[in-house]
A and B are shown apart, each in its own frame.
Chain A
Amino acid sequence: MNKRGNQIISILSFGKSYKMWLFTCILFSLLDVAVNILIPYAGKKIVDIISIENGNEEFLTSVWFMVTLLLMGTINIFFRKLSISRFTEYTIRNLRNNLTSHIQKLPFNSFKKHHSGDLASRSNTDIDLITTLLTQISDFIYEPLIFICAVIYGLILNWKLLLVTVIVLGLATVLNNFATKPISKFSSKLQKEFGRANSLIQDTVKGNYIVKSFNLKKVLQNNYQSSQTSLYNLEMQIVKRRLFTLTITTFLLTFPLVVINLYGGSLTFAGEMTIGEFTAFIAIIAYLGHPVIRLITLVSNMKAANGAAERINEILNYKIEETSKDKYITNKETDIAVAFENVSFSYDDKTTVLTDINFKLPKNKTVALVGVSGGGKSTILNLVCGFYNITNGKIKVFGNEINKIDLKTLRAQISMVTQDTHIYPTTVAKNIGYGKKNSTREEIINAAKISNAHEFIVNLSDGYDTILTESGSNLSGGQKQRITIARAILKDAPILLLDEPTSALDNNSEKLIDEALKKFTKNKSVLVVAHRFSTIKNADEILLLNNGQIAERGNHDELIESDTLYRKLYLKQYKESENNNLFEGMSYNA
């Protein structure tokens, strides 16, 4: 089998333990083929009784035969549907769970390759496509078989009539396809025209201030009118075209049935087949046409599912983050919390993001990273967490070289607060409690108090048991941030990474958060990214990053005295910035 086929097979392996359900389904499908082909036969027997004198006894036998078949058919369909459903449900559940837990285990850089919307669509749309195929999987056996059986039975009944039927039906189907094709050419034009009309609507609604203040009403009305006129003309063209098609279709759908009936009637008339045989033949016509249409659908579903499986397998084939390395060793080095030694980094091996970075963050000190956006500040924080592999150099956390140790044990040493720290859609208490395994309610409340969150939490409808909505939309940005800070407080890791935690907030929340951070960052080694100079003035060392390199370093007083880039940036911001005063005297390691 080719590579594309393998995609589905590897997905099917998730259903290995449920293959009995699949076999059950196949068994009932085979039975169904038998029943469905015997029903016309039983019908023939019953009908032919009318030409037999005194056929009462035979009539009764035939009737019982028919009733038995119909009951069997009912039972068949029930178990066919049930068993394939079971197989599909369990297989899909396994697939879903495995996919999710695999994604969770991926290293950050392979995860980053995909947009979150893309991952979500793989877990929804793609899994749905596979589900559809799985529920139809037994049809790949059923449909061809019933078709073959129908052909054989048709040959037995009357080969001439079968030949005529196949020719007329086949011809009609081919011609029908041919007739309906030209329409699709128009539909793209139509879509375009609809798009134009819709963007006019959007312009008018969203730009209503402009439309009014620039007196554009008349112009837009004329544009819309002309768009509607061409839409109307296009649609009428399609209507005319479709009239022609519809007439042909009506003919092609009706004429074959008329021909088959008349020819069959005349064959019966001529005594070449009995009336019962003719009836049976009419009953199997459906089995001659339907499987063909059905198989076309199945093949296209198969293709779609294959594409879906390919996309899912792409994810499943990514290697998970390695966990088998050495454990983190405490007290290996006590004075230096984080050390970068000649670190270079590139996301794609082409453009370097960081070049030759060297710095040390001593225990319980603060190092600030400043510079224009895109300078690589946040990347440094991500590297400390082991989210990416560095190209060159060494990063050490309390003496442990991070690419040689188990990342889970490394991360136990680190807390991080960013602008977009995640809020989980569960209770407030659980959100904070994620900071420390098995934390008690007291510990959680304590952490919330330190982060200035307790007060607003108790005012929520269910206090600490309030369920937060997805991405915390029932909280303000500042409240969310204070919950994430409480979580970090509870974790109480010796290293704290801050990535502009207050940049998207209003003044009041900024104040509260700065207060909270001030309390909490005592006795922590802090690496902070910030663009407000007031935030970083009091750091022990400031690193100014430019184009991925440390361009300037020193404390605020040193840097501001000489003619540095830092000084330029500082003075510029001093002139322009708003609300600078709120940060006066701010320090994380006061």
Chain B
Amino acid sequence: MEEIKHDEQLLQTDTMDLNIGPHHPATHGVLRIVATLDGERIIKAVPYIGYLHRGVEKLCEDLTYMQITPHFDRTDYVSNINNELSYVMAVEKLAEIKVPERAEFLRVIMLELNRILNHLIWVGSFANDVGLFGTAFMYSFRDRDLIQRVMERVTGARVHYHYLTYGGVREEVHDDFEADVKKLADWIPGRVDEYEMLLEDNEVFRARTIGVGVLDKEEAINYGCSGPFLRSTGVPIDLRKLEPYSVYPLFDFDIPVGKNGDAFDRFKVRMNEMRESAKIIKQAIEGLPGGPIRAKVPRKIRLPKGEVYIRTENTKGEFGVYLVSDGGEKPYRLKLRSPSYTNLMYGSRVVEGMVLPDVVAVLASVDIVLGCIDR
């Protein structure tokens, strides 16, 4: 969009402060942005966070290691199992627990299914925010449900799965699991095509996203951005490849990257990531080994004195857990590194100078979950 320059002498305009949120359809939870507007143009946007602060980090200091896991489902409440992974890996590293191979495979399957769930909810709400009222949202929830049904049969829950635990996974899968997951893995790429048909070929959608919210590669890295948000600029940083953990090195998959770093590229990156996830799931289910699903670990463990930082590739970027143990049965300190937080900080810098509708589109393209930012 061309820059509009006012002749200061002729046209004196006043600015207006606008509270976008905490209750606003486009803030995905309770984010508050105080925007200084000149007409519709944003001069300055300051995000205010903390409306969903529950003190998870402090809470964890008073819980045993087993009791902490479900809290990780509730930080970023759309990529639950991905969050659990960082935590259980941190405990496993300190306690030097070896996870059985079957458990690792099951973890990867559930992680990637969870990644698809997250990207589906993202595409629905992103379409909603650029003004497609409900259609993509309904489609994404229809598709989410089919995945959730499989995950529900395994974990017993539809949203807060609490599936991982240190030493392995909590539940053995049901008999039809392999057939169910194979069906899902075959069917997901077709559904992704449907979203692309609905949105990518839509001229209005292209006009709203191409060239909107272009990120600067260097600055995005300096801000500490990660995940699809950073990859849209063409930086192929994915911890699954960069610092392989679990059994990811066994699988063949690509890291989709964008070119221009605009909202459209972020859409494309996430769509392609769903395809890659389906590929990983297919390989994992075909190579699913037998054996125990959990190492022999007592329910109540004491970790040796020490500290550890584990980072894994969350659905939104790098999700880190910094765990300090003083040798007791509760952590001394637990610190989370939320990808949404860093991405939002840069995202809200990028919107300065844009018009209000673009702000909504760009913030939606960042993919934030306030539960993870505020913790």
Answer yes or no: are A and B bound together in one complex. Answer: no
A residues apposed to B, CB below 8 Å: none
B residues apposed to A, CB below 8 Å: none
